[in-house]
Structure 1
Amino acid sequence: MVVEKEGTFEVNGHSLYTKSWLPDGPPKAKLIFIHGFSDHLGRYHAFFLALAARGIAVHGVDQRGWGRSVTKPAHKGLTGPTTQVLADMAAFITSHLPPAAGAADPPVFVMGHSMGGGQVLTLACHPDYQESVVRPVRGWLLEAPFISFSPEEQPSALKVFAGRLAGKLLPHHQLKHDIVPEHLTRDPEVRKSILADELMHNTGTLEGLAGLLDRTAALASGEVRPQKGGALRSLWLGHGTRDKTTWFEASKKYFDECTGEVKDREFKAYEGWYHQLHADGPESEQFYKDVGDWILARCEGERAEAKL
């Protein structure tokens, strides 16, 4: 039986909504999850249930500006700059790390989807967080990370330039970016639920959108990549080949060219799948299994090393 617990996480004077999916019995692993643009934890419910049923405790947070962490209209999309986004994530991850080196807590993994995948990858590569956050985490997972727009979603250079300029003048100005459900999933029922979901407000701020574009540009160019020294121990990246939101080819290129410092790494291509691997129809159960298998295999490795 999986136990679900709601709560809040206080960071820099802000209260963020959290939810955990806990296995019946001591967890074999902890997974910290970071959602995507205009998304919230409730959209991943079936995925998290499947992981918790296998002994993986899942802890997630509705990021600043999204989901149930929004308490008034002016807060929609108000994420702050990238420094704030990274600080929020680092604080939440750190709150779930063992209190001391060698503590008998289960291994911790971090996963991000879409925009959250780009944020997680940026954090994992950031020099300021290598010892405090990256090294204590056993493995990092990316689901269709936002490394580049798909050709279908690629904005014009003029639009990007205008957005960056306006973001400096009016950082908190809100801007709608409607997401096309048909680009996210092949499942017609999931498409309907996206349109009916009032928590998916599709609203960003110019500051937040500029930060997203900057992070994406830095990843796509290879400027941001894993640091030398092995702090990032293990990396898994899964992407659908027919993703119409973020670009499969950009993820594959990044993996092939920029992750050589990570000795334990795996790229999984989901042939014909769309953007939401966790909600792309009945086949998504294979995605649940792949993620669970990858995490649990590294838990077994940790236990084997501890016995030596």
Structure 2
Amino acid sequence: MAKEVEGSHQIGDTSLYTKSWLPEGNPKATLIFIHGFNDHIDRYYILFPYLTSRGIAVHGFDQRGWGRSVKNPSQRGLTGPTSLVISDIASFIKSHLPSEVPLFVAGHSMGGGEILTLASDPKYKELMGSVRGWIMESPFIGFPKGFEPNFLTVFFGRLAGRVLPHRLLASALPAENVTRDPEVVASIYEDKLLHGMGTLEGLAGLLDRTANLNEGKVKLNDKVISLWLGHGTADKGTSYEASKKWFDQQSTVEDKTFKTYEGWYHQLHADLPDNREVFAKDVADWILARCGEGVTANAKL
């Protein structure tokens, strides 16, 4: 059984909620996980317990504006600009360094785009040698076909983000577009920590990060060691095609794996119950193969 430990990560006068899932005995690897938009770190179902059953310690935090890092309603969706979002993630990673075991960084959706932005920022180049691998689950690199905002919406959204940065806007994906599991859909609507609101500043930053990745305006630091990217072909939140295109362009990274999940929706970790362990095992196998471990284990929770 995983040992769950709650805590906090202090950045200036801001306290961010943290949670760790720790295996029995000494870990074989450490994973830092960054959640997505309208999400929090306690919504990843069997993924983290499964990883710990394979000897991988998992550490995550609720980002500014989300989950239990929101101490009062005025903080909902208040993420700050991209520079602050990325520096928060870098600070959390650094808090787990140096590491006696290989350290990996993962992100889902918005979190996937955020960790790619960090891995592409020259300011954090010195971190790259400390991260054994970067894992992206359905990263936000582009909008899926049929769900793209029109040009005027994007233009005026960015303009409003500069004029009224803290104005809130309901921006969550419909829960039915997130997963094929009706029980998970119901839980999204019932979860009081999922407020679905983003500030115009935060949403503008999200759009800019996505565009920069999609259009190749940012490049991975040359010290990035390895990449794993998984995406469902029926994703209605982020673009499978944009992820594949971005991945294929990363010619400077020799150790990279792209995994297609045929017919799966946006939250691979919360897809149909029979599929969740498939995804969790893929992630664990890839991590452990880079820690000198075999990949034949078939852990059961």
Q: TM-score, normalised by structure 1?
A: 0.93
Q: CA deviation at 1:188?
A: 1.0
Checking the alignment, whether the CA contact within 8 Å between 1:123 and 1:129 is kept in structure 2 is yes
1:148-206: CA deviation from partner (whole Å, max 9, x where unpaired): 11123311111111111111111111111132111111111111111111111110001
- Structure 1 residue identity aligned to 2:157: G
Partner of 1:177: 171
**Equivalent residue, structure 2, for 1:32:** 32
**1:238 counterpart residue number:** 230
Residues of 2 paired with 1:88 and 1:209: CA distance? 17
1:280 aligns with 2:271: yes
1:265 paired to 2:256? yes
What is the aligned-residue RMSD (CA, Å)? 1.0
- TM superposition outliers: structure 1 runs of 4+ over 3 Å: none
Q: Does 1:295 align with 2:287?
A: yes
- Kindly indicate whether residue 111 of structure 2 is the aligned counterpart of residue 116 of structure 1: yes
Equivalent AA in structure 2 for residue 235 of structure 1: L
Q: Give the equivalent residue in structure 1 for 2:67.
A: 67
1:95 shift after superposition: 0.6
Residues 101-144 of structure 1: CA deviation (Å, up to 9, x unaligned): xxxx111000000000000011011111011x222111100000
| Partner residue, 1:96 | 96
Structure 1, gaps ≥5 residues long: 100-104, 302-308
Measure the CA separation in 2 of the matches of 1:90 and 1:178: 25
Quote the Cα distance in structure 1 between the aligned partners of 2:7 and 2:110.
23
Instruction: Confirm or deny that 1:19 pairs with 2:19.
Output: yes
Aligned equivalent of 1:141, options 135, 155, 167: 135
CA contact (8 A) 2:45 2:270 kept: no
Query: What is the distance in 2 between the residues matched to 1:236 and 1:125?
Result: 16
2:296 aligns to what?
none
Q: Which residue of 2 aligns with 1:226?
A: 220
Instruction: Report matched runs for 1:38-57 at 5 Å.
Output: 38-57=38-57
Within 5 A, what are the aligned runs for 1:246-257? Answer: 246-257=238-249
Q: For 1:283, give the aligned amino acid.
A: N
Distance 1:112 1:152 in 2: 24
8 Å contact 2:46–2:276 — kept in the other structure?
no
Q: In 1, Cα distance between the equivalents of 2:35 and 2:288?
A: 22
Q: CA deviation at 1:263?
A: 1.2
Asked if structure 1 preserves the Cα contact closer than 8 Å seen for 2:6 and 2:18, the reply is yes
Following superposition, the deviation at residue 226 of structure 1 comes to 1.3
Distance 1:161 1:220 in 2: 17
Amino acid at match of 1:271: E
Higher mean C-alpha displacement, 30-39 vs 156-165? 156-165
Partner SS, residue 44 of structure 1: coil
Letter in 1 for 2:241: E
Letter in 2 for 1:240: G
Percentage of matched positions with identical amino acids: 60
More helix as a share of residues: 1
Alpha-carbon separation, structure 2, partners of 1:9 and 1:117: 21
Q: Which whole-Å deviations, capped at 9, do the CAs of 1:193-220 have from their partners, x for residues lacking one?
A: 1111111111000100000000000000
How many corresponding residue pairs? Answer: 292
